[in-house]
Structure 1
Amino acid sequence: MPESPIEFFTEDVEFEIKNEQKVKEWLEEVISNYSFELESLNYILCSDEYLHQMNVEYLDHDTLTDVITFDNSDVEGVIEGDVFISIDRVVDNAQSFNITVENELHRVMAHGLLHLLGFDDKTPELKDLMRSKENAALEALKF
């Protein structure tokens, strides 16, 4: 099997992706479903503090968040980006929503990817569309 252009990294946390190869295949399928080409996609799993600092430094937002996405592509229809995810937020949200950490992580992974696929969530209507796209992506999980 060829090497996937999707990579997982950690910063300031210890965390391991369960079923890493299957997660990569799922993300590649979501990208394919939108007819995008995958150049490179990095998921960086980090702490609240790490992501908060990025939020302040790069987006001028002094708040905690679960995900920040950076689109590094210069070409329409090509995925090349970095998705930073706070494992602290994922764990807290999973407890709040009474779901597994793995399920919440998959939702946030899909959310970050959907931003790279051109979806936004700045208005209530766009948030509703984003949530429906997240749910559709999650339904494609085969494990």
Structure 2
Amino acid sequence: MSNVIRFFFNDVQISFRDRTILKLFLASLFKKERRSIDYLNIIFCTDESLLQINKDFLNHNYYTDIITFHYTSSDQPIQAELYISVDRVRENADNLGSTINAELHRVIFHGCLHLCGYGDKTSQQIKKMRERENHYLRLYFSKHK
């Protein structure tokens, strides 16, 4: 499998157009970040599903918008899964005065940037992560409105 990006919807309904365009954009994001990709599964789920994953695999008992599982080391092509809570994305969009579409893309780009080695534990890492998220959001939406 080479350069395969797939979307899965687990007990959630969300209008998500232009998947092919997004797949191509994500492939270019990884290329720009100097990372190759073997496969990436993006799984959309509910708050409760992601909370259970958070408890089972990370020993965290709180809601989150995304959990990134990276199965390879940094010198190998990326093999990973992004689990995204659609409930959390909707709430974040409301709280931030954003659209669900923009917030959904931000979260996807955020997970991909984690796979490229960006962190978000320190204030400096968070600043860099936001800069990269905003860069890719501007780039994507300037071409794909």
Q: Same fold (TM over 0.5)?
A: yes
- Letter of the 1:110 partner, please give it: F
Q: What is the alpha-carbon distance in structure 1 between the residues aligned to residue 87 and residue 105 of structure 2? A: 14
Aligned to 1:140: 139
Q: What is the alpha-carbon distance in structure 1 between the residues aligned to residue 76 and residue 106 of structure 2? A: 22
Segments of structure 2 that go 5 or more residues without pairing to the other structure are none
- Which deviates more, 30-39 or 61-70? 30-39
- Which deviates more, 119-128 or 8-17? 8-17
Segments of structure 1 that go 5 or more residues without pairing to the other structure are none
* Shift in Å, 1:4: 5.7
Q: What is the alpha-carbon distance in structure 1 between the residues aligned to residue 74 and residue 66 of structure 2? A: 23
**Count of paired positions:** 141
- Which deviates more, 113-122 or 70-79? 70-79
- What do residues 25-58 of structure 1 show as CA deviations (whole Å, max 9, x unaligned)? 1111111101211100110000000000001111
* Shift in Å, 1:138: 1.1
Q: Quick one: percent identity of the two aligned structures?
A: 37
RMSD across aligned positions (CA): 1.4
- Letter of the 2:93 partner, please give it: A
Aligned to 1:58: 57
Helix, strand or coil for the counterpart of 2:57? Answer: helix
* Shift in Å, 1:76: 1.0
Matches of residues 119-130 of structure 1 in structure 2 within 5 Å?
A: 119-130=118-129
> Normalised by the size of structure 2, how large is the TM-score?
0.92
> Normalised by the size of structure 1, how large is the TM-score?
0.93
